[in-house]
Amino acid sequence: MFDATENDPISPAMRALLEVFSTELSEVKFPDVDAEVLEEAAGRVRAQAEAVAKAQAALEAARQALGESQEALLQKGQRALSYARVFAEEDAELSTKLEAISLPKPARKVVRADGSVVAEAPAQNDETAPRRRGRPPKSRPSAPLFADGSSPEALSATEVAEASVPAARPAAA
């Protein structure tokens, strides 16, 4: 299951030592250590690594099954909550309890071009959206453009009327 370079659970240095003991030192026997003992130990390491890989695959499958079960429960819960809210329209106390329950939106499933299905995170609402960072924008006073309440049309009509009336002459003293 493991190739010699990429997924081998035995380090490159240990592989080099095993290679030396299987070639140049194959006939040499040290107390408790020789080529055969090292190969047996390496075989146990590889077997344990394979068991870990299988357990990780089983764990991933179990996590996926759990996620699918949680998604199915959430969809049923959304439906049950909707029905219960309609049912409780005449019961104020029950309506209050049901309004306090806020289930998350179910995740959408997206089909990729290669045919795989991926669960996409639900759209965030105000409750689940992360808080905006930084200083809030300055609030600008909302003063009306025309402070006296008149419209632009009224101002232009006033200007035309003032232009047609001759200016008052100052009184002679």
Which residues are 108's β-sheet partners? Answer: 120
pLDDT score at 10: 92
CA-CA distances (angstroms) from residue 168 to 17, 120, 131, 171, 172?
Answer: 113, 77, 64, 9, 12
pLDDT score at 81: 93
Tokens 């959408």: give the residue.
108
Counting as low any pLDDT under 70, the low residues of the chain are: 1-6, 109, 117-130, 140-173
Mean pLDDT of the chain: 80
pLDDT score at 107: 73
Joined tokens for residue 10: 């035995």
pLDDT score at 166: 57
pLDDT score at 62: 97
pLDDT score at 138: 76
CB 105 within 8 A of CB 123: yes
pLDDT score at 2: 45
pLDDT score at 50: 95
pLDDT score at 111: 73
User: What is the distance between the alpha carbons of residues 96 and 82, in angstroms, rounded to a whole number?
Assistant: 14
pLDDT score at 3: 47
User: What is the distance between the alpha carbons of residues 39 and 46, in angstroms, rounded to a whole number?
Assistant: 10
